[in-house]
Chains A and B, each alone.
Chain A
Amino acid sequence: MQSYWFGDVGEGRCSAVTGDVNAMVSRILSLSTQLDTFTPPDWQQAVACGFCSGRADYLALLQAVCIAAAERSVREHYSGKDAELLQMVRTLDEMDTVVNLLSERAADWYMVRHPAFSRKYRRTPAHILVRTMRENSRGALGKVAGEIGQLADTRTALAKEVSARANDVMPNTSALIGGLVAARLMAHAGGLLPLSRLPASAIQVLGARTALFAHLKTHTPSPKHGIIFQHRRVHNAPRDVRGRVARVLAGKLAIAARIDYFRGVAVPEFLEQAQNRIDTAGKGDGA
């Protein structure tokens, strides 16, 4: 017997499905087919079954069911807690780029208007510079500086939200490396499930693609770290142990991501153990 979307066919008999589109969608999403004995569905069988009246009817019904099924699959795909976090992180990183590019450009413009102005020997934070530009410039430049300030504020608010959301969605990974970096790792992998399937060695160099392929192609030294470099534990570690810290941290992150995906709650025993192990690696006496 063969199960098709319109019903079951076999041994000279045929039973058409009944029920609404929703029930038919649930049915086709749950059907499993043995391919070695499979023959594709035939619309004339469906007509013989009394399921539909002809070719046009067959296609119209099939399309209605398939559109509903595809819509349901899309909705399910977006229902995971990580789906929105993914977009939030990517927006955040894009905003960073935009804010930096715009402030560089505006600063250049400002320097043309104020030939005596220079940033050398001054430790002016970026947001102060933007405010100075806004207050001292008339016309479009002042407005641009104002917009940059607004964008930067939005960016800060978004970063906070990303961090909070990451703590909720991936509590263990966030506890080890901070919400923001954890979210970035997840975004690079393409979601929490793909991240949890990555080996530790891949997590270690996630975000160091150029260096990794340069290594594979031309045998330059292999990258020691990718995104995880952003965490203070890695970038504050002395150069000679940085690779080790990155490796140990990535190992624990791989475990943390799996706990996050399959359990979804923080596991204090694991976290304590992992933190200790990473600290030992940083001190240089751990193997």
Chain B
Amino acid sequence: MIWIGDVLVSRGEGGVYNERMLGGARVWEPYRSKLAALYHVGKGVELEPSLRVLYLGAANGTTVSHVADYTEAVYAVEFAPRPMQDLIEVARRRKNVIPIMADATRPETYAPIVEAVDLIYQDVAQPGQAAIAIRNCLFLKPGGYLILMLKTRSVDVRKDPAIVFDETIAALKEAGFIVLESVWLTPYHQDHAAIICTKPAKPGE
């Protein structure tokens, strides 16, 4: 990751969402982007120029644009038409962003398009977030990573965030993921946790 002092940045064409520029690089705000927050709390998967990424819940494409600055290709899946319009605009200006309007709970609708990827980044506001990750892991190369941003409030507002967190981790482990790190994104985001997993090179390893 590229840091200028203690500011996280990415190198690419600016002006996507009027982001601040610093020394010609785009400032990646931890209070706006959960992925930036994850790097700020000192965790996360190092983004490299060779990586292919499946991004579930791409929304307006602000975080997508930063991920695309670091990586080779980003498959950006978003369901709602309003943010999709913005995402298409981001894709027009970046060669490596592939916009897909589809429901992340139904990977069969975009399976013919998405290559095997090194990283799945998931940030969806839906219940059943562990199930979505598990259904999409067929795109993940063995040894690849999953970063799951858990919005506990989207799973069940009445439940204690800590319980939702534990349940999600248990579901991921049961599906064969190895949980490497899990961390709350406070103070940048409330009731949001990040879970970083890997898929074993061979099943059962």
Contacts and interface: CB of A to CB of B under 8 A. Distances in A.
Contact of B113 (A38, A42, A62): A62
A39 to B, nearest CB: 8
A66 B111 contact: no
B84 A74 contact: yes
B115 A42 contact: yes
A59 B71 CA distance: 13
A5 B113 contact: yes
A29 B78 CA distance: 15
Given A40-B114, A40-B116, A59 B95 contact: yes
Contact of B88 (A60, A62, A70): A70
Contact of B98 (A3, A33, A63, A71): A63
Given A4-B112, A66-B113, A59 B96 contact: yes
Interface string A19-37: 0000000001001111100
A28 B112 contact: yes
A35 B138 contact: yes
A109 B91 CA distance: 50
Nearest to A71: B88
Interface in B79-135: 81, 84-85, 87-88, 91-92, 95-101, 107-109, 111-116
Interface residues of B, number: 28
Interface in A207-228: 213, 216-217
Interface of A is mostly: helix
A41 B99 contact: no
Nearest to B75: A66
A60 B73 CA distance: 11
A109 B81 CA distance: 43
B139 interface: yes
A78 B81 contact: yes
A213 B157 CA distance: 10
Given A28-B112, A35-B107, A42-B116, A73 B96 contact: no
A14 to B, nearest CB: 14
Contacts of B111: 33, 35, 38, 40
A213 B138 CA distance: 38
A217 B157 CA distance: 10
B126 to A, nearest CB: 14
A197 to B, nearest CB: 15
A83 B127 CA distance: 25
Interface of B: 73, 81, 84-85, 87-88, 91-92, 95-101, 107-109, 111-116, 138-139, 157-158
